[in-house]
Structure 1
C-alpha cells in the first residue's frame, strides 16, 4: 500500500477472531477502531518507541478525533492488513490516514483519519513531540522538515 507521497505506508497484519464479531459472524463496527489503534501502536514500535517506556517519560498519545467510513464487512477468520500513514505532523499532534483491507481479495473494508495528540502523562496537558520522535515520524511519513507552528 503506497501512500500518496510515495512512501510505503506502515502495514500491520491481524486476523478476525470470534470476539471481534457479532452474532452473525461480522466484525462489530467499533472493532475496526481497535484494529487501527493496534496498527498505530505497532507503527510506533517499528520506529523504535514503546508506549510503556514513553509513559515513563511522562508522554502519552491520545486520540483527539476520529473519523471512519465503512465499505464492506470483515468476517470471522478473515486475515486483515491495517495501514497507518502519517499525513500531518504538528508541534504536539499528528494525523494518521488508516485503511483496513481483507487480504484474500484485497477489498477495502474501512478507512479513517485520526488526530492523535501528544500529552503529559501526569496531567494530560499538551506537550511538544520530542525531537527524536518527531524526526522518526517525519521520516516515516515522508514529511521531511515539518513546521512546528499550529496544532
Structure 2
C-alpha cells in the first residue's frame, strides 16, 4: 500500500485551503467524483479550518454543549473531478449571524473551479438540538479571522 503525503492545509485570516486527493471510493460507476462527495470534501475543510482556529468541534460539544450543524446548502457542479486528481477545497467564512455562520466553498483543480457551494451553519444546543446564540468567546475568535 502506498501512502501519499498531502501538503499541509493553508489558513488565511478569512479563508482556508485543504488539499484532497480523489480516491477510487470517491468516484461513481462513470469514474467521476460522486456528487455527494463534494459535500463531504467541504465538510472536512470546514472542520479542519475550525480546528486550525482553535475551535475543535469535539471540544465545543464537550465543554460548551454546542454543535455547528448544516442548515442549508446551495451547490453548483461545474466540471467533473476524476480518480487521482489533486483538489483544493477553499473555504471562506462569510456572514455571521447571532446563531449562524455562512460559508462559501469551492473545490478546485489546478486553479479551475469544479464545484462551488454556499453552506449555512446553525449553532445548536447539543442536547436540545435547538438553535442557540454563538457564545461571545467563539464569536470573537471567528470575528478575528475576517
Same fold (TM over 0.5): yes
Q: Distance in 1 between matches of 2:47 and 2:72?
A: 17
Q: Map 1:2-151; keep pairs closer than 5 Å.
A: 9-56=15-62, 57-102=64-109, 105-140=110-145, 142=146
> Number of residue pairs matched?
134
Q: Distance in 1 between matches of 2:47 and 2:138?
A: 14
Q: Distance in 1 between matches of 2:78 and 2:71?
A: 24
Structure 1 residues 34 and 107: CA distance shift in structure 2, 3 A: same
User: Deviation at 1:126?
Assistant: 0.8
* 1:4-57 C-alpha deviation (Å, 9 max, x unpaired): xx9552111111111100122200011000000111001100111111111112
Query: Normalized against structure 1, the TM-score is what?
Result: 0.84
Could you tell me which residue of structure 1 aligns to residue 9 of structure 2?
Answer: none
Q: Distance in 2 between matches of 1:135 and 1:85?
A: 17
Structure 1 residues 8 and 58: CA distance shift in structure 2, 3 A: closer
Q: Distance in 1 between matches of 2:114 and 2:71?
A: 23
Gaps spanning 5+ residues in structure 2: where? 1-11
Query: Normalized against structure 2, the TM-score is what?
Result: 0.87
